[in-house]
Structure 1
Amino acid sequence: MGFTQARGLDTWETLTVTKGERRLSITACPARHGPGVTDLVLPDVMGSILQADDRSRIGTIYISGDTLMHDELDEIPRRHPDVDLGFFHLGGTKVLGILVTMDAEQGVQAVRLVDPDVAIPIHYDDYDVFTSSLEDFTTAAEQAGLGDRLRVLHRGDSYPMG
């Protein structure tokens, strides 16, 4: 696909990508795919903070990645207190009965923690192993008083960023 310089990032490492005069910084955030020792046998994952050199255009974007809630995520709002837009991987995926992606309850906890102006749930219906529906999340978010910041996008929808 033309990607010739891909590289992994350690947690909190930042990579700046330049195209012409535009720059995009990508900072790796903590993420954990499974609880406890199960994380050792699951693929590595990371969350990301994206920041363009022109903050007035896209602001600060958080992408959760396939993480579960865990203590290391507490550092995200300390380092990035002004997240404009957050994408949260949900679905409550279970493998052998073990939760490996955030369900509705953890999704609400993550939105509260990161505290974006706008929260967009994603990755909630990509596989048949999901146990927590989009409706579970939107209902839980409404009950938690977060409904005004949710934007639900369906396949093919877009969100204006500027």
Structure 2
Amino acid sequence: MRAEVTFIGNATTLLRLGDFTLLTDPAFGPAGSRVSLGYGMWSKRLRDPVLDPLADAGPDAIVLSHLHGDHFDRAARQRLDPRLPILTTPQAERRLRRRFTAVRGLPTWESHEWTRGNQRLRVTAVPGRHGPGAVDLLLPDVMGSVIELAVDGRTRLTLYVTGDTLCRPGLAEIPRRLGEIDVMLIHLGGTRILGLLVTMDDRQGAELTRLIRPGRTIPIHFDDYRVMKSPLDDYLRHNLPGVRPVSRGETFELPVRVDEEPK
């Protein structure tokens, strides 16, 4: 059974999980393009995404962590079919539903699932917090996602996509509620806006990795835009077990469980 991730760039990945294909946080603009961060602020893209793997992908749905320009840019909005299902925050749903007719906002801990034959794919919204303290109220709501692939009622893969969250002790609730995390796609970069940290830097990323204890950790969202100040190498120097960087355009096979009991 196929289970793999292709890194497109920034927070954009293509997930092929059994008979399902998901696209995360689509941003297709080239290097040099600018994206809005809200309140009149902009950031310039520094690196091109690798779009070739998307040519024949035919995703079943988009999982959108939040509505910021570096996660859902103008190029993606123009390219994507407005009938394509989008799972995102309720806040983002309200802004997208005029153009995208199948968008659904998931409150925290709510799930949506698809079934094909003997396979089930479930996406559960989990907590995320974009900014420190009261600053978070000025930023878009963020949704982490736990994606579970089951075959014949048995869980084969549990994947956690962090979204643009800062590390908080409450995130330990994720494996407590949803079980062992096989793979974590962690959003890093140490993004700073007006001097304030709004995505995890290397130290927060290391803290979350120890908190979640995934079998495999794949860092993404770390060097595409000028506002990102924490290089990937800083995170890698923590020498955490199971960390596997993936290059742009690279496809990495994900571990699939073989003897999980029915859930």
Aligned length: 157
User: How do residues 17-96 of structure 1 correspond to structure 2 at under 5 angstroms?
Assistant: 17-19=114-116, 21-54=118-151, 58-96=156-194
How far 1:71 moved relative to its partner?
A: 3.1
Percent identity reads 46
2:210 is aligned to 112
1:129 is aligned to 227
Relative contact order, higher structure (CA 8 A, sep 6+): 2
Matching residue within 243, 248, 252 for 1:159: 252
Shifted more, 40-49 versus 54-63: the winner is: 54-63
1:150 is aligned to 243
Structure 1 distance, partners of 2:108, 2:155, is 26
Q: TM-score, normalised by structure 1?
A: 0.90
Structure 2 distance, partners of 1:26, 1:86, is 14
Residues 59-85 of structure 1, C-alpha deviation per residue, up to 9 Å, x if partnerless? 100010000012321211211331110
Which structure 1 residue ranges, 5 or more long, are not aligned? none
Matching residue within 71, 90, 105 for 1:8: 105
Shifted more, 111-120 versus 68-77: the winner is: 68-77
Which structure 2 residue ranges, 5 or more long, are not aligned? 1-80, 85-100, 257-263
User: How do residues 93-104 of structure 1 correspond to structure 2 at under 5 angstroms?
Assistant: 93-104=191-202
- Residue pair 2:218, 2:244 contacting (<8 A) in 1 also: yes
The list of structure 1 runs, each at least 4 consecutive aligned residues, that deviate by more than 4 angstroms after superposition, is 55-58
Q: Which amino acid aligns with 1:155?
A: R
Q: TM-score, normalised by structure 2?
A: 0.57
Larger of the two Rg values belongs to structure: 2
- Residue pair 1:77, 1:113 contacting (<8 A) in 2 also: no
Structure 1 distance, partners of 2:116, 2:196, is 42
2:98 is aligned to none
Residues 95-144 of structure 1, C-alpha deviation per residue, up to 9 Å, x if partnerless? 0000000000000011111110000000111211111000011012x1xx
Residues 1-54 of structure 1, C-alpha deviation per residue, up to 9 Å, x if partnerless? 131422111111111123455321001110000011101010111101000122
- SS at the partner of 1:59? strand
Indicate how the Cα distance of structure 1 residues 124 and 56 shifts in structure 2: closer, same or farther if over 3 A, else same. farther
How far 1:158 moved relative to its partner?
A: 1.2
Higher strand share: 2
- Residue pair 2:150, 2:156 contacting (<8 A) in 1 also: no
Higher helix share: 1
Q: Which amino acid aligns with 2:249?
A: G
- Residue pair 1:92, 1:102 contacting (<8 A) in 2 also: yes
Structure 2 distance, partners of 1:61, 1:38, is 29
